[in-house]
């Protein structure tokens, strides 16, 4: 059963899209939708798709609002090899994920995605998050995206 909230539904379709990329070193089961990084429940490397930040109204029409739903994708690895090959693989995964979603309708990026989500913007985020590195003792590469959905105004 699909999620009732637009934000969680977006996260689930992002997860589906990332899994379909068949990223090197990331098995399908290692792509999770969670509130944040959970180093205790998974095998690494892993990707966490998280509803993060603040929703915002960025425009609209007479009867509809454009809502921005922030999603952060964390590409994490606990003990990577300290070499240029690891760095290249991590940056390639980041690039492939960005290219899948940037300026795309979610339904075009991932088959069956909600048609109301009409674009994706890449937000500024560090390539390596040193604060999370210190907290979790793992390398974390966040990629912040905003998915814009045009929704009917009023209670539903």
Give the integer Cα–Cα distance in Å for 127 and 108: 26
Q: Which pLDDT band, with edges at 50, 70 and 90, does 139 fall under?
A: confident
**pLDDT of 68-127, one tens digit each?**
999 999 998 876 666 667 788 888 999 999 999 999 999 988 988 888 899 999 998 888
Q: Please, what is the Cα angle at 127 between 32 and 70, to 5 degrees?
A: 50
Three-class SS of residue 95? helix
Closest CA to 117 of 3, 14, 38, 2: 14
Q: Which residues pair with 121 in a beta bridge?
A: 146
Percent of residues, the chain, with pLDDT higher than 70:
93
Q: Which pLDDT score, from 0 to 100, does residue 1 have?
A: 46
Q: What is the pLDDT of residue 20?
A: 96
Helices 6-20 and 84-101, axial angle in degrees (round to 10): 130
pLDDT digits (tens, 9 = 90+) for 37-59: 888 876 888 999 999 888 999 98
The pTM score is 0.89
Domains and CATH numbers, the chain: 6-152 (3.30.2000.10)
């Amino acid at each position: 059963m699909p999620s009732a909230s637009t934000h969680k539904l977006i996260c689930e379709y992002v997860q589906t899209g990332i899994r379909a990329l068949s990223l090197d070193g990331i098995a399908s089961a290692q792509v999770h939708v969670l509130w944040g990084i959970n180093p205790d429940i998974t095998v690494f490397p892993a990707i966490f798709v998280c509803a993060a930040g603040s929703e915002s109204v960025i425009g609209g029409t007479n009867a509809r609002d454009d809502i921005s739903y922030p999603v952060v994708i964390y590409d994490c690895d606990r003990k990577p090899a300290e070499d240029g090959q690891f760095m290249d693989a991590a940056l390639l995964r980041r690039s492939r994920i960005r290219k899948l979603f940037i300026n795309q309708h979610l339904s075009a990026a991932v088959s069956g995605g909600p048609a109301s989500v009409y674009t994706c913007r890449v937000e500024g985020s560090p390539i390596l998050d040193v604060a999370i590195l210190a907290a979790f003792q793992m390398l974390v590469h966040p990629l912040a995206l905003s998915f814009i959905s045009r929704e009917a105004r009023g209670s539903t």
